[in-house]
Structure 1
Amino acid sequence: MAPFSGDGVLWLCLGVSLFFAVRGIATDLRQVVDLTQIKQVEREDKIISEGTEEALKLNTLLKLSESTSHDLRSAALRIISERSTKGETRDLLLEDLACKDNKVRQSRALTALHFLVTNRALSRTSVCTRLRDVETYMALVNCLCNFLEEHNEQTSATNSPILPKTRPMGEKKALQVLNILLPENLPSALDAGLISRWLSKYPFPCALGESSRRQDVVLLMKTWWADDVVMSSIFGTLATHPDGIKQLRKYGLMGSMIEENDQDDDDDADSDVWMVDGDDTAGSFRPTSARRLREDSAEEQALRRRRREAMVLSEGGRPLGNDDIIQRPISE
């Protein structure tokens, strides 16, 4: 008997043919799907072409910025921001920002600049990179200097050594803008007179009165930072740059190296220290450098101990350091 009958061979051929037919149909269907699929070939953030961007009028962009579509709204805001930070428009913005005689123009320019650097919809654009030259910092410093004359009415009841009670409302926006732009190009900000023209004349409460502590401003910014978070952040940025530290010392906002070393040499183990919320870390404080032995009389040592009254602030959870100690000015 033959191993395969005529019907068996027929069924075998039919099965093989069906197998290849199914595979061929599946392959053809995949090709049809690929050919008919609409692919997004536009680049990211290119919803509106560059040629169309230049042709759009400001009124049209304003309407698009109020659209319910997130993509259209973001694209419109991006176009507006790019137009505002280049060419003549940028020059007019900075000119109005530094304007001293027209407070309305200054306020509008400051509001516009604040929007440009803080709005989330513009975070992916190159706004900040276009506002990092000396001209921008010069206009911003001029704006802040203009606000110095407006520190004449009480706007806050907070008792703080770093936060003035007379801070104008517009100054808050200017500080926020400066805090964002300062890390972009700190040397240019210093060249524009950030410290020499503005901070050196700023009415810090600790620097007013008979017992001025202007040289302790940087230290107080670290210990009382919660009273003025934005200003403390600005000082923190300045204190991380060598040129910033140099100018802070030069204009009397930070103690000199000689004074700090002398202060360290005068401290000894039995000095009187007032601990505030430092129960958990008081035992972990150790002098960071060896103290020199002095051959003074007992009366001089007692007098020096009475004068060295200090306050140590600690939030707990870390060892104390020299930055946590605030000394009162010695009164004769």
Structure 2
Amino acid sequence: MSFQSSDKLLWLCLGVSIFFAVRGIATDLRRVRDLTEIKHVEKEDKMISEGTEDVLKLDTLLKLSESTSYDLRAAALRIISERATKGQTRDLLLDDLASEDHKRRSKALNAMWFLVSNRALSRTSVCVRLKDLPTYTAIVDCLCNFLEEHTEETCTTVSPILPKTRPLGEKKALGILNAILQEDIPAALEAGVLSRWLTKYPFPCALAEPSRRQDVVILMKSWWTDDPVMSSIFGTLSSHPDGTKQLRKHGLMGSMMEENDDDDVDSDVWMIDGEDTAGSSRYSGRRVREGTAEEQAVRRRRREAMVLSDGGHPLGNEDIIQHPLQSS
């Protein structure tokens, strides 16, 4: 009996020891896990809370915008931008943008360019407030005011799409329009981007003799490197059905038949200083249709011919397949 009692006591002590050993090991492992865990401590107190944004004065925000802290600068600029696109402040900004006063317009252009081009503001409600009809109307008014300033040469580039008399401030206005145009093309068309502005724009190809006004869209694609921003604006307008209709309506884009008729139009040819070889006109006009109807049919038949060859011998007349010439 004493032997059995000692065995039970031994097993009891062994079980208790194992229990406490397991508890101790588990506690140590949890402690190691807690010590090695990387914690992301969230700041409970914001530097500029939403409750204090509305009471901050502009002078204070200007000082914060010059802070060495990136977060403070970003927060201050965001608050200033949101205030500039709300209520009466926004109306004053658009009025200055459409103003004929050069100083007011210049300041408004700088402000608008900052608001539409700053990536930090793209995630806020600032950009949304600048994509409506009043904004497009103010921008078109601004661009129309620049039309009267095309008087002195500001560049020497010889191009069918870039006027030499473009005012210095017009490029920034074009950039603003290009940045927001694709957001609401119908609103921009309603504001008169085509009917009030582009129809009166002094494109060199439209002012030349003979005029190539209806080839403006085609020339924008061929000569886009001369004026990338204006070419982008035309590309956006021509990609929208309503934009295409108005481009054709106002004579800045030819009909589909004319665009596809390569036999009649040399849209990608523009002579520069070629009076000695190409006549007095600096712009290549449309090809003159020569020959009788039968000769034109022969030329069209040759364009539609197919050449089939396995490459084992030089090409000959037997490899050319043409539609039969129909006699009238």
TM-score (norm 1): 0.73
SS in 2 for 1:67: coil
1:73 alignment counterpart: 73
SS in 2 for 1:150: coil
Distance in structure 1 (CA, Å) of the matches to 2:267 and 2:64: 63
Aligned counterpart in structure 2 of residue 23 of structure 1, from 3, 15, 26: 26
One-letter amino acid of the structure 1 residue matched with residue 241 of structure 2: P
Distance in structure 1 (CA, Å) of the matches to 2:8 and 2:254: 108
Provide closer, same or farther for how the CA distance between residues 273 and 217 of structure 1 changes in structure 2, counting only shifts above 3 A. closer
2:251 alignment counterpart: 252
Provide closer, same or farther for how the CA distance between residues 272 and 128 of structure 1 changes in structure 2, counting only shifts above 3 A. closer
2:219–2:268 CA contact under 8 A, matched in 1 = no
Provide closer, same or farther for how the CA distance between residues 11 and 154 of structure 1 changes in structure 2, counting only shifts above 3 A. same
> Once the two structures are aligned, what percentage of the paired residues are identical?
60
2:50 alignment counterpart: 50
Q: How many residues align?
A: 276
One-letter amino acid of the structure 1 residue matched with residue 186 of structure 2: P
| 1:282-327 superposed Cα distances (whole Å, 9 cap, x missing partner) | xxxxxxxxxxxx97254x779x99xxxxxxxxxxxxxxxxxxxxxx
User: Which sections of structure 1, spanning at least 5 residues, go unmatched?
Assistant: 276-293, 306-332
**Equivalence map 1:106-145=2 (5 Å):** 106-145=105-144
- By how many angstroms is 1:49 displaced? 2.0
- By how many angstroms is 1:179 displaced? 0.3
SS in 2 for 1:17: helix
1:89 alignment counterpart: 89
One-letter amino acid of the structure 1 residue matched with residue 54 of structure 2: E
Provide closer, same or farther for how the CA distance between residues 108 and 39 of structure 1 changes in structure 2, counting only shifts above 3 A. closer
| 1:81-128 superposed Cα distances (whole Å, 9 cap, x missing partner) | 11001100000000011011x110011111110111112222221222
1:296 alignment counterpart: 293
SS in 2 for 1:124: coil
2:162 alignment counterpart: 163
Distance in structure 1 (CA, Å) of the matches to 2:33 and 2:79: 41
- By how many angstroms is 1:244 displaced? 0.4
- By how many angstroms is 1:221 displaced? 0.7
Provide closer, same or farther for how the CA distance between residues 272 and 229 of structure 1 changes in structure 2, counting only shifts above 3 A. closer
1:188 alignment counterpart: 187
2:205 alignment counterpart: 206
SS in 1 for 2:169: helix
1:129–1:184 CA contact under 8 A, matched in 2 = no
- By how many angstroms is 1:10 displaced? 3.5
Distance in structure 1 (CA, Å) of the matches to 2:134 and 2:246: 20
Distance in structure 2 (CA, Å) of the matches to 1:237 and 1:252: 17
2:178–2:233 CA contact under 8 A, matched in 1 = yes
1:13 aligns with 2:13: no
CA RMSD of aligned residues (A): 3.5
1:321 alignment counterpart: none
Provide closer, same or farther for how the CA distance between residues 157 and 25 of structure 1 changes in structure 2, counting only shifts above 3 A. same
1:74–1:122 CA contact under 8 A, matched in 2 = no
SS in 2 for 1:169: coil
1:77–1:121 CA contact under 8 A, matched in 2 = no
User: Which sections of structure 2, spanning at least 5 residues, go unmatched?
Assistant: 270-290, 301-328
SS in 1 for 2:54: helix
Distance in structure 1 (CA, Å) of the matches to 2:31 and 2:147: 76
2:177 alignment counterpart: 178
2:222–2:268 CA contact under 8 A, matched in 1 = no
SS in 1 for 2:239: coil
Distance in structure 2 (CA, Å) of the matches to 1:169 and 1:50: 40
2:326 alignment counterpart: none
One-letter amino acid of the structure 2 residue matched with residue 296 of structure 1: A
Structure having the higher Rg: 2
SS in 1 for 2:254: coil
SS in 2 for 1:55: coil
2:121–2:127 CA contact under 8 A, matched in 1 = no
2:213–2:251 CA contact under 8 A, matched in 1 = yes
Distance in structure 1 (CA, Å) of the matches to 2:49 and 2:79: 11
Distance in structure 1 (CA, Å) of the matches to 2:173 and 2:72: 29
| 1:156-194 superposed Cα distances (whole Å, 9 cap, x missing partner) | 111111111111110010000000111111111111110
One-letter amino acid of the structure 2 residue matched with residue 58 of structure 1: L
SS in 1 for 2:158: coil
TM-score (norm 2): 0.74
Distance in structure 2 (CA, Å) of the matches to 1:125 and 1:57: 21
